[in-house]
């Protein structure tokens, strides 16, 4: 049985999808962009955007009763792979060992530098 996960501490969906879905002990978090839900603004730098994206994910996981330590899989999209090192320096502040498995790819994104989705096991 699917259970929808929602929080006002992360941006609401802009289409027909959920912020998160819990199925059993697994939580799937939809791709999150860097929109700050409190201010409605998007930070400028890759570091600030990565921090906001991961904060949005963290807030959705919290609403599901999970933490970043529960994340087992990360998929990250960067608008340009030249941002990888800066993105990675912020990313590692949100996760501890053993790190989740991860795929990071260059993608065409709509006016943002980074989008990330995760799967967590609680």
Helix (H, G, I), strand (E, B) or coil at 84: helix
Question: Which tokens sit at 73?
Answer: 């899989």
Mean pLDDT within 5-34: 97
Which pLDDT belongs to residue 10? 98
Which pLDDT belongs to residue 70? 98
Secondary structure of 20-56 as H, E, C letters: EEEECCEEEEEEECCCCCCCCCCCCCHHHHHHHHHHH
In degrees, rounded to 5, the angle at the alpha carbon of residue 13 between the alpha carbons of residues 18 and 29 is 45
Segment 43-57, tens digit of pLDDT: 999 999 999 999 999
Segment 67-90, tens digit of pLDDT: 999 999 999 999 999 999 999 999
Q: Report the distance separating Cα 84 and Cα 109, nearest Å.
A: 15
Which pLDDT belongs to residue 57? 98
pLDDT confidence of 5, banded at 50, 70, 90?
very high
Question: Which tokens sit at 104?
Answer: 């990071």
């Amino acid at each position: 049985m699917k259970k929808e996960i929602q929080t006002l501490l992360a941006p609401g969906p802009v289409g027909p999808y959920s912020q998160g879905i819990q199925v059993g002990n697994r939580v799937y978090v939809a791709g999150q962009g860097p929109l700050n839900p409190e201010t409605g603004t998007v930070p400028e730098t890759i570091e600030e955007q990565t921090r906001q994206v991961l904060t949005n994910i963290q807030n959705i996981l919290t609403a599901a009763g999970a933490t970043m330590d529960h994340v087992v899989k990360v998929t990250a999209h960067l608008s340009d792979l030249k941002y990888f090192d800066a993105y990675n320096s912020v990313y590692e502040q949100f996760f501890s060992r053993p790190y989740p498995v991860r795929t990071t790819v260059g993608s065409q994104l709509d006016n943002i530098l980074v989008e990330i989705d995760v799967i967590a096991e609680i």
